[in-house]
Structures are given as structure tokens and as C-alpha cells.
Structure 1
Amino acid sequence: MGARWRLRFPDVELRLAGVVPAALAIQLIAIFADLGSDDLFRRILFIASYLLLIVFVLANIRRPSVALFGVGVLLNFLPIITNGGLMPITPETLLKTGDVPEDARIGEWVEGTKDVLLERDDTRLYFFSDRLTSDLSPSRAFSIGDVVLIVGAVVLLLDLLLPRPYRAPL
């Protein structure tokens, strides 16, 4: 008698999954809420949101898709933390996006983004900063970390949602 194959949906087993939407909500508040002219609180919010994402990754690191997501989180967190709590973007990259606020100033938060405007020579870990541009990206400027993070998130979603073949015992 041959084995029977059928599809089965995997059990979703993610620890601390609720911190991911919480971290994203914190980032949306930091980007869009009127937090006054001092951007210190905004910077603290971004750092806190990434710390939450790191906690999620560490709690689920055994899943390869979460590990990949975590690499993206880390590639974003490092330039954020080393540049004062916001993702650095150069004036040249900001100009390429076509979305340059009138009041954009070097060293300050770029309104409506997660970015701080810095000259390339003043940017720590420039290679990992928001230096890539595309009309397909909602923010139009993004980092290598964003790409890795999104690929990890897509792989994680596919891992969680797609059925898997299951071989019934003989």
C-alpha cells in the first residue's frame, strides 16, 4: 500500500508576534505625529521600535525567515543608532526622490520620513543608510537593510501561510 500525500497548513508558532505591529505603530507615530520641533522624542521612538523588533527576532531566531528578517532589522538599526536615532540620508539622495521639504536642514529630521539629513562625510555606516531610490518604494529612498527586511518578511509570510506537503504514515 502506497503512502498518501495531502496538503497541510503549518501551525503558526511565533513568539512575541504582537511586538511587530507595536513597533510599526511606534514608527508611524514617530514619522507622522506632531511631536514638536525637538526631534529627540522622535529619535527615542525609532530606537525603541527597533529594540522591539530585535526582541521579536531573538525570540524566533530558529526560523530561517525570521533570521533573515533580523539581518534586515540589524542592517537598519546600526546606521540609525550610530547616527543619533534616525536613518541618515544625504542631500543628493533626497534630491533624487523629488520629495525635498522646503525646511530641510542638515542634521535635522526630514519631515514625513524616518530620515535625518546628513552629508555623506558625516554619515556613519553610509553604505547601510537610505541611499537607494526607486519610484516603486513608498518612501522613494530606502536602504539595503530595507530590502533584506522585506525579503525576510515575505519569506516569513510564505512560510506561515502556504500549505506544505504532508506524508501520511503507512
Structure 2
Amino acid sequence: MLFILSAILGIIIGLLLKGDIKKLDGSDLKGIYIPIIAFSIEIVLFTLVRKGIIERGLITYIFYLIQFILISIFAYLNRKNKAVLIITSGFILNGLAIFLNGGAMPVNPDAAVAAGLYPSVDKINVSKEGLYVLQNDKTLFWFLGDIIPIKFIRGYVVSIGDILLCFGLIYYIVKSMKRAD
């Protein structure tokens, strides 16, 4: 949802700057299908874990590794595009938090409460989410986890990587809408 809101914001900014939405076709990107495949993997992974078909472990690590490799290939193919590099930086930061913490994104419990996701810290249950863990003393690189509470339309807890992803997406959309043919 946060990325959809970022895309909408990018389009609004692009239109306010007299950009052309028809230019937002991805024709300036090489291998545009690669991130589509990568994020489809993530959707399938989340769905399988949330439905209890698979559990977090080796299989989720493999899926994340495939996704990471695909995004790395896409970034390499588009390495001259600043927006893609910003998006990739966010993805790498999120990947570090996930890979270093057992294949799950660490979530700050106080941030989850502040965002309105739970009424109190003792009511938090991320186990049903499957691919999230609560931050604790053993969390590695805790500052790369979901630590920033946001209340806009609904509650979110986001990471520094998520912010970079959103900023890069907005930047890409605005830049694409304003590009000369």
C-alpha cells in the first residue's frame, strides 16, 4: 500500500510539474520484467507463509536470494539511472535486515504500537505474519528494520530501506514524466 501511495504521489507531482503521464511507460528501463518477477516472488512468498503452506526457513531464504539476485541484475542493467540506484539501495538495506535476522524483517514493537497496529506491546503477535520478527537485544542491524511509525490512511511501520524505495519510485515517476523524447 505504501508503494502504491508513493506511485500516486509521484504521478501527482509529475502532473503538477507539467509532466506527461504517457511517458511513464518504462521504455527507458532495461529488463523491466525483472523487478516484476522479483516482486511477484515476494507476493507469493508472503501468501504461502501467511496461509501456513510453508514456514520461514531455508525455502524462504532461497526465495529471498532469488529475488535479491534478480533485483541486482536489474540494477546492473540500469546502473546509469539514479532512480533505480536509489530504489536498489533501499532494497539492499531491507535485504540486509532480513538476511541478518533469520529471514525475517525485524519490527520495533514500540513503533508498531505508535503506528496503531496494536493496542500495546504485549498484544503484538507477528508470528501470524511469518516474515516479521520483533526486535530484541539479539537483533542485528536493528536500525535497518521497521522502526519508523507512520499513520497515514492506515498505520505502517517502515524501514530506512522502505523510505529509499518510496523516494526512488517517486523520483523515477517524476523524472520519467518530465523526460524529453
Under TM normalisation by the shorter chain, which class is it? 0.7 to 0.9
- Which deviations, in whole Å up to 9, do the C-alpha atoms of 1:43-76 show, x marking residues without a partner? 4333432332222112111111111112111121
2: CA distance between counterparts of 1:153 and 1:125?
25
What residue is the counterpart of 2:172 in the other structure?
156
Q: 1:82: Cα distance to partner?
A: 1.0
Aligned partner of 1:133 in structure 2 is 149
Residue 85 of structure 2: aligned partner: 67
Counterpart position of 1:24: 39
Paired residues of 2:105 and 2:131 also in contact (CA < 8 A)? yes
* 1-structure distance, mates of 2:72, 2:107: 23
Distance 1:139 1:47 in 2: 29
- Residues 93, 25 of structure 1: CA spacing in aligned structure 2 closer, same or farther, 3 A cutoff? same
**Stretches of structure 2 lacking an aligned partner (at least 5 in a row):** 1-18
Question: Secondary structure of 1:135's match?
Answer: strand
- Bigger shift: residues 47-56 or 144-153: 47-56
Flag the structure with larger Rg.
Answer: 1
For 1:85-96, what aligned pairs fall within 5 Å after superposition? 85-96=103-114
Q: CA separation of 1:138/1:146 partners in 2, compared to 1, >3 Å: closer, same or farther? A: farther
Residue 32 of structure 2 aligns to a residue whose secondary structure is coil
CA-CA distance at 1:144 after TM superposition: 0.8
The percent of aligned pairs where both chains have the same amino acid is 21
1:51 and 2:69 equivalent? Answer: yes
Please tell me whether the aligned partners of residues 90 and 165 of structure 2 are also in contact (alpha carbons under 8 angstroms): yes
Letter in 2 for 1:116: V
Paired residues of 1:31 and 1:111 also in contact (CA < 8 A): no
Name the count of aligned residue pairs: 154
- Are the structure 2 counterparts of residues 54 and 130 from structure 1 closer, same or farther at C-alpha, using a change threshold of 3 Å? same
8 A contact 1:54–1:73 mirrored in 2: no
Give the aligned CA root-mean-square deviation in angstroms: 3.0
TM-score, length-scaled by structure 1: 0.74
Name stretches of at least 5 consecutive residues in structure 1 with no aligned partner: 1-6
TM-fit CA distance, 1:130: 0.4
